[in-house]
């Protein structure tokens, strides 16, 4: 009886988290979206932010960073920083509905905070549980801690050479494109870790 009640308690807590997320999703859709295609950009950002929130919930709750790649978190930090550089000053890449007025900005900023919080957890209180020996992506010819250079370098070069011009400003357009390229490959160190 004790095992099944604790299992039910844990599962009901997880269920409440997911019900809360889907309820918030419906509220955002109903109150802030015009129902068009641009809402998908906001919703994808919202889902990603929720995912990083779950990562923090798991890491802080279980007191372990086992299986989490710092390099992936570093790539996401660069992704969100570059994206915020682009969207804070210009509107060319924002959703057309009301979520582009403030919601998308807040979600991207919260995602950055969640990633930084996860990195803090790994490097400070949970450092003994971090699997550094398995987080070796990009350790060819350079120290392992600089392994993301193999991913950031090509993305930066491509973003400088090939970027749209919706904001009509080189820095903003390049930053947006860099964030898109980085996000496309950010999970590679995590996958390599397994």
Q: Are 130 and 120 in contact (CB under 8 A)?
A: no
pLDDT digits (tens, 9 = 90+) for 45-88: 999 999 999 999 999 999 999 999 999 999 999 999 999 999 99
Alpha-carbon dihedral sign for residues 59, 77, 104, 109: positive
Q: What is the mean pLDDT of the chain?
A: 91
Structure tokens, 47: 């889902």
pLDDT digits (tens, 9 = 90+) for 137-159: 877 887 777 889 999 999 999 99
| pLDDT higher than 60, residue 1 | no
Q: Which residue has the tokens 């924002």?
A: 94
Length of the chain: 194
Rounded CA Rg of the chain: 19
| pLDDT higher than 60, residue 169 | yes
| pLDDT higher than 70, residue 3 | no
Q: Are 39 and 95 in contact (CB under 8 A)?
A: yes
pLDDT band at residue 5 using 50, 70 and 90 as cut-offs: low
Per-residue confidence (pLDDT) for residue 2, from 0 to 100: 54
Per-residue confidence (pLDDT) for residue 186, from 0 to 100: 95
| pLDDT higher than 90, residue 97 | no
**Mean pLDDT over residues 163-183, rounded?**
94
Structure tokens, 17: 């988290």
Query: Could you tell me where the DSSP H helices lie in 88-194?
Result: 103-123, 149-161, 170-185, 188-193
Distance CA 14, CA 98 (A): 30
Distance CA 53, CA 66 (A): 17
Which one, of 178, 148, 149, lies nearest residue 161 by Cα?
A: 178
Q: Are 78 and 182 in contact (CB under 8 A)?
A: yes
Q: Are 100 and 94 in contact (CB under 8 A)?
A: yes
Which one, of 41, 81, 75, 63, lies nearest residue 130 by Cα?
A: 63
| pTM of the predicted model as reported, rounded to 2 decimal places | 0.90
pLDDT band at residue 98 using 50, 70 and 90 as cut-offs: confident
Distance CA 163, CA 172 (A): 10
């Amino acid at each position: 009886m004790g095992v099944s009640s604790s299992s039910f308690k844990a599962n009901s807590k997880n269920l409440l988290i997911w019900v809360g997320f889907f309820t918030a999703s419906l509220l955002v859709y109903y109150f802030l979206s015009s129902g068009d295609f641009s809402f998908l950009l906001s919703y994808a950002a919202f889902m990603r932010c929720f995912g990083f929130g779950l990562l923090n919930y798991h890491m802080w709750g279980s007191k372990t960073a086992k299986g989490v790649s710092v390099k992936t978190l570093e790539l996401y930090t660069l992704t969100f920083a570059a994206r915020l550089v682009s969207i804070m000053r210009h509107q060319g890449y924002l959703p057309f509905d009301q979520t582009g007025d403030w919601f998308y900005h807040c979600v991207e900023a919260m995602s950055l905070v969640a990633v930084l919080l996860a990195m803090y957890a790994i490097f400070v209180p949970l450092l003994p549980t971090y699997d550094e020996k398995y987080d070796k992506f990009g350790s060819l010819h350079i120290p392992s801690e600089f392994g993301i250079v193999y991913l950031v370098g090509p993305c930066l070069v491509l973003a400088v050479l090939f970027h749209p011009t919706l904001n009509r400003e080189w820095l903003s357009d390049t930053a947006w494109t860099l964030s898109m390229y980085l996000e496309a490959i950010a999970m590679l160190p995590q996958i390599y870790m397994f």
